[in-house]
Amino acid sequence: MHGRNTSPSPSSSSPTDRRLSALARHLEGSSPTAMASGNQSIAAAPTSGSTGSRSVFDHVVQGPEDAILGVTVAYNKDSSPVKLNLGVGAYRTEEGKPLVLNVVRKSEQMLVNDSSRVKEYLPIVGLADFNKLSAKLILGADSPAIQENRVTTVQCLSGTGSLRVGAEFLARHYHEHTIYIPLPTWGNHPKVFGLAGLSVKTYRYYNPATRGLDFEGLLEDLSSAPSGAIVLLHACAHNPTGVDPTTQQWQQIRQLMRSKALLPFFDSAYQGFASGNLDQDALSVRMFVNDGGECLAAQSYAKNLGLYGERVGALSIVCKTADVAGRVESQLKLVIRPMYSNPPLHGASIVATILKDRALFEEWTIELKAMADRIISMRHQLFDALRSRGTPGDWSHIIKQIGMFTFTGLNSDQVAFMTKEYHIYMTSDGRISMAGLSLRTVPHLADAIHAAVTRAA
């Protein structure tokens, strides 16, 4: 054995040694001969966690809390026994607890008991039954667009994901890159569309003086929009104001938009949750589809089926012909694939199970109406409580508005006062979630509003 070189040669070294040597050469920029010996140590890279090294992310500043989700963060830190969270857009029972619908529990049990189900990837566009039934739910089973195969529907990550996929598609394939959104609107809308590459502008929607719709301002702003611009429309239960156009006003909006070739993009987050009637809450969308024109519609099942954490949504694009719809779908796949590849299975399976089973569907409509009716009841309870206290101002807008939210008209100073003195949490624009109220908490809120109006005006 004397005179023999015992250090491992490249050919006899282990695969692990060879990978480490190659990695070390890459990190250090050394030549192969300098690293010929496999027992050289690898120096820490700048991105490693070695003691004393600065992070490559030291320059990153603390980001602000989301304006809406941040309310819940602040609420959770409050130890007061009377604290009340009216910021979160989620339904609560009379006891203030999250609700899982009975029909959801039933459908989940059916899915669990089906031993043939597997956990394979869905196609890029999602669950076929879910897509087909979602289009029928919002457009109507007798929709001419569906019958003529002019609709392409893809499963997305709830309403936000549906909006983002639609926005990305429009940024790539639509000739006009300006989208008009109502003022005010959901706080995430400008971010979703802006980050997708669209230029975001606003049109007048809410009139603070009347706490109702600024219809004349809306028409004037849309009339001034360039031909072909995209217009975001809340299908029902406008967030945050709870103010919706009347059927006649919707017709005028439709006529104006079609005359200027403006492209409607509906956000339908509350179908059935606003009035308690699925068809009633889809009338605005169906008006635009039934005239033969094109439009987009983003759906969410977070509110109306209580599937908040399942992130179940759909994007439907209504086209002029079946051929165009097919090509649009092919491009939607190219948007989705590098974004999240394909959507999750479980939530869409719950929805499809309910929508295709007549008994489950009927049970859902009953539970849905019960939720909507409780919110309407809370509106009347709060209105009566303020009136009985003689709270200054006209609070009739509380019972005129519709859906989950009420735009109270309280200013940011009044909101801050209510948070500090009464431990009531809401967004700074005065929006409150009626679904977060109960018979027990209405008096506390009414006392806080009365005090805010009379002492913190």
Residue 395 annotated among the catalytic residues of the structure: no
Annotated catalytic residue within 221, 244, 267, 447:
267
CA–CA separation, 61 and 212 (whole Å): 40
Annotated catalytic residue within 303, 364, 395, 447:
303
> For the range 2-11, what are the long-range contacts, defined as Cβ-Cβ under 8 Å and sequence gap of 24 or more?
7/37, 7/38, 7/39, 8/38, 10/36
Enclosing H/E stretch for 452: helix 442-455
Query: Do β-strands 431-433 and 405-407 pair in parallel, antiparallel, or remain unpaired?
Result: antiparallel
Annotated catalytic residue within 186, 221, 281, 364:
186
The answer to whether residues 190 and 339 touch, using CB atoms and an 8 Å cutoff, is: no
Residue 303 annotated among the catalytic residues of the structure: yes
- Which segments of 238-389 are extended strands (E)? 263-268, 295-300, 312-318
CA–CA separation, 82 and 412 (whole Å): 21
DSSP state of 310: G
Residue 267 annotated among the catalytic residues of the structure: yes
Buried b (16+ CB within 10 A) or exposed e, 290-328: eeebbbbbbbbbbbbbbbbebbbbbbbbbbeeeeebeeb
Active site residues: 186, 267, 303
